[in-house]
Amino acid sequence: MSQVVPDDILLGLDAQQLDAVTAGVGTVIVRAGAGSGKTTVLTRRVAWRVANNTADLEHVLAITFTRQAAGELRRRIRTLNLVDDEDAPRRSEFTAGTFHAIALRLLKQRFNDTNRVAPLVVTNRMQILNTVAGADSRAGGAFELLTLIDWAHARNLGPVEATTAFQELGRRIPVTTQRFTEIFTDYEKAKRKRGVVDLNDLISLVVHEAKYDAAFAESIRWQYRHIHVDEAQDMNPLQYSFLRVLVGKTPDLFIVGDPHQAIYGWNGADHTLFDDLPDLSAGSYVVELPSNYRCTPQIVAAAVHVLKNAGHDANEKSLRSDGAPITAVRCATEQEELTSICEQVLRLHAVTGSWDSIAVLSRTNKLASEIVLALQGARVPVQEIRSDRKYAAALAEASSLSSRHALAVWAADAIDTPDDDTDDDIKEVAMSIRMYLAEHPSGPADGRSFQTWTATTAPLTQHHGVEVLTFHAAKGREWTGVIVSGAETGLLPHSSAISAEARQEEGRLAYVACTRAAQHLVITWTDKRGGKRTGPSALLRKLPLGESPLAPPTAEIRSRRSVPLASDPLAVALKQWRSTAARASRCEPQAVLTDAELERLVRANPQNDLDIVAVLGPIIGGRYSARILAAIADQ
């Protein structure tokens, strides 16, 4: 097979994408909106550079934030014929990985070159924390304490500086500031005593080694000469320090990010690093990718409106054809919202024909769990994913273990600890490990194979069905139809978002949630949750639903106006439906629809959701459209 022709790499790119891919060597900053094809741009950039002999594939590095994203980049690069057949083995030398994976690779190489024993990556962080925190961990604060320690590491802060920062940010600490300082300090000492490091330590060690050994720093820059960074808006200060080690005095840097999808400030990320690129932005070339190829104009308009309500400037636009209007569903209580979500899922399934093409997103894990139960109760197939953060953290920790022995030790540590010292979620994962090892008494076994077994064999796992995720977990995903639930005061923005910056991040989070939908977007909220008044989120204020202008009335509608309502079959059918709905809700028929609203419906003779919303408005229309259309069909 012949080597790829450079011009073939540019096929199908729009003007802005072409500008980004073919930009000169230096610092290129690509601000890529949701659905703008940033992965395509990143892949084509590598291919363009290699095909034009301005980059050597074996010296190309792409840094991502997930293993899945790194794997997707490698897969796409492999599909391009970037080198001659005789050099085919070199294709595998393209390097893509997360910050932690690249740091680990460099550390192993560094310690081998200096005849030192590389530290082990900790496999039982929770156990270490439980030991040093004692009763404070058993009281239920272990996961939160680890999250705070990780945030401090990400911000390059020690115990004392971290507590000061938490106080300035108004961030809750589950113990006193003095006690947190002690736990943080003892946790670091315990790691050193055991000769282990955690993932953040991997990056810190590379930065430290490079700072005090210029030859090591230069060897890194020789190995990785062409640097590419994906999702750069999610960088934290520690990762930025690592990037500065990689990039020399003459930058060859291609950095892609979307400031509007910066949603990990709670985890230590600092979106201003991408906005400003300290010490790297001088002489940079900036390209904007505002075109959304995923979402309909109605969805993009709604998402951009949410951003503007949160105080952001936005210019994203959809290049797709018109789609369905946004469905807004107002619910009196959380129970009514769950019922409405089930109804909307069934409606979307009737339109899309696939459960897998539908997702329900929520701001919190608690609401996600309630939605899963409601859908299962309605016999809707759900892709069963444990969303509890402690369980997820324990499963992630177990999945990182590198051997059968490590799995066995981790499980033993968790199970053999007194009951009041270990979370039930950790013990549940530990029991799963023992089941896995019992079913696989011989042969290779490690955390990755255990993770695969959990996903494919563990009880209650459902591989096809509606997905229920938090907004954060949905980032990077897309579905034909999406229901954004709990879009109300107290949940969106979340009540914990006290500072102006935190509330702006909540706006970005809502934008991410909305732009997961390609064709159909439903937004639900309640007027009361947990006995407290809520109401629609301020982020939804004057939300455009994308209604089309009303066409002039047809001859059929004009003729219907002359028919007395009392004898009109449509009026009879709608009154009967209204009475049934009122009995089910234990209210007067006028509380469901007033006579005037019913009369307007009859006059309009609606044929679809849009017609009903045009008559009743987005709230009542969105709530009752499916049932009204069913009543009309049955007349």
Half-sphere exposure of 627 (CA within 13 A, CB side): 18
Both 64 and 211 in a single domain? yes
Secondary element (H or E) of residue 521: strand 517-526
Which residues on adjacent β-strands are paired with residue 95? Answer: 61
Q: Which of 68-82, 114-128, 543-557 ranks highest by mean pLDDT?
A: 114-128
On the question of pLDDT at 6 being above 70, the answer is no
Q: Which two tokens stand for residue 276?
A: 């400003």
Q: pLDDT digit string (tens) for 243-271?
A: 999 998 889 999 999 999 999 888 889 99
Both 377 and 500 in a single domain? yes
Let me know: does 4 contact 51? Beta carbons within 8 Å. yes
Q: pLDDT digit string (tens) for 525-551?
A: 999 999 899 999 999 999 998 764 434
- CA 76 to each of CA 52, 73, 99, 292, 389: distance values in angstroms, whole numbers, following the listed order: 18, 5, 20, 21, 32
What average pLDDT does range 144-170 have in this prediction? 91
Both 553 and 488 in a single domain? yes
Nearest in space to 476 (alpha carbons), one of 34, 29, 4, 21:
34
Owning domain of residue 422:
389-452
Cβ neighbors of 404 (< 8 A, separation 6 or more) are 437, 444, 445, 446
Bigger pLDDT: 364 or 170?
Answer: 364
Q: Which two tokens stand for residue 305?
A: 């409106």
Q: Which two tokens stand for residue 321?
A: 């054809």
Q: How confident is the model at residue 613 (pLDDT cuts 50, 70, 90)?
A: confident
Both 184 and 233 in a single domain? no
Which of 166, 194, 222 is the last residue in one of the domains? 194
Both 244 and 376 in a single domain? no
Nearest in space to 232 (alpha carbons), one of 47, 10, 396, 69:
69
Both 403 and 495 in a single domain? no
Q: Are strands 120-121 and 317-318 parallel, antiparallel or unpaired?
A: unpaired
pTM: 0.72
Cβ neighbors of 313 (< 8 A, separation 6 or more) are none
Both 98 and 16 in a single domain? yes
Q: Looking up tokens 């255990």, which residue turns up?
A: 450
Q: pLDDT digit string (tens) for 174-201?
A: 889 999 999 999 999 999 998 888 888 9
Both 154 and 213 in a single domain? no
Average pLDDT, the chain: 83
Q: pLDDT digit string (tens) for 27-58?
A: 999 999 999 989 889 999 999 999 889 999 99
pLDDT at 483: 97
Nearest in space to 618 (alpha carbons), one of 540, 513, 533, 509:
540
Q: Which two tokens stand for residue 574?
A: 């709608």
Both 229 and 83 in a single domain? yes
Q: How confident is the model at residue 374 (pLDDT cuts 50, 70, 90)?
A: very high
Q: Peptide bond before 544: cis, by omega within 30 degrees of 0?
A: no
Torsion angle (degrees, nearest 10) of CA 184, 189, 190, 196? 110
457 in a structural domain: no
Longest dimension (CA), the chain: 95
Nearest in space to 310 (alpha carbons), one of 33, 537, 545:
537
Q: How confident is the model at residue 556 (pLDDT cuts 50, 70, 90)?
A: very low
On the question of pLDDT at 1 being above 50, the answer is no
Q: How confident is the model at residue 589 (pLDDT cuts 50, 70, 90)?
A: confident
DSSP string of 370-390, one letter each residue: HHHHHHHHTT--B------HH
Amino acid at 241: S
Q: How confident is the model at residue 447 (pLDDT cuts 50, 70, 90)?
A: confident
pLDDT at 283: 82
Chain centroid to Cα 335, Å, comes to 26
131 in a structural domain: yes
pLDDT at 170: 81
- CA 164 to each of CA 178, 267, 273, 505: distance values in angstroms, whole numbers, following the listed order: 11, 17, 21, 22
459 in a structural domain: no
Q: How confident is the model at residue 587 (pLDDT cuts 50, 70, 90)?
A: low
Both 308 and 365 in a single domain? yes
Q: Which two tokens stand for residue 514?
A: 């909305």
Which of 170, 194, 218 is the last residue in one of the domains? 194
Q: Is the sign of the CA dihedral 335, 337, 339, 341 positive or negative?
A: negative
What average pLDDT does range 357-384 have in this prediction? 91
Taking the C-alpha atoms of residue 313 and residue 296, their distance in angstroms, rounded to an integer, is 20
Q: pLDDT digit string (tens) for 375-432?
A: 999 999 998 654 455 666 677 777 767 777 778 777 766 665 444 444 566 777 877 7
On the question of pLDDT at 459 being above 50, the answer is no
> At 527, is the secondary structure helix, strand, or coil?
coil
**The CATH number of the domain where 281 resides is what?**
3.40.50.300
Both 10 and 70 in a single domain? yes
Q: By mean pLDDT, which of 141-145, 153-157, 164-168, 197-201 is the weakest?
A: 141-145
1 in a structural domain: no
pLDDT at 68: 75
What average pLDDT does range 282-308 have in this prediction? 92
Chain centroid to Cα 532, Å, comes to 28
**The CATH number of the domain where 620 resides is what?**
1.10.150
On the question of pLDDT at 150 being above 80, the answer is yes
Q: How confident is the model at residue 307 (pLDDT cuts 50, 70, 90)?
A: very high
Taking the C-alpha atoms of residue 515 and residue 507, their distance in angstroms, rounded to an integer, is 12
Both 397 and 481 in a single domain? no
If one counts the domains in the chain, the total is 5
Q: How confident is the model at residue 584 (pLDDT cuts 50, 70, 90)?
A: confident
- CA 509 to each of CA 135, 236, 305, 540: distance values in angstroms, whole numbers, following the listed order: 35, 17, 13, 13
For residue 24, the 8-state DSSP code is P
Q: pLDDT digit string (tens) for 325-354?
A: 999 999 999 999 999 999 999 999 999 888
Q: Is the sign of the CA dihedral 575, 580, 583, 584 positive or negative?
A: negative
pLDDT at 431: 75
pLDDT at 591: 63
Half-sphere exposure of 22 (CA within 13 A, CB side): 13
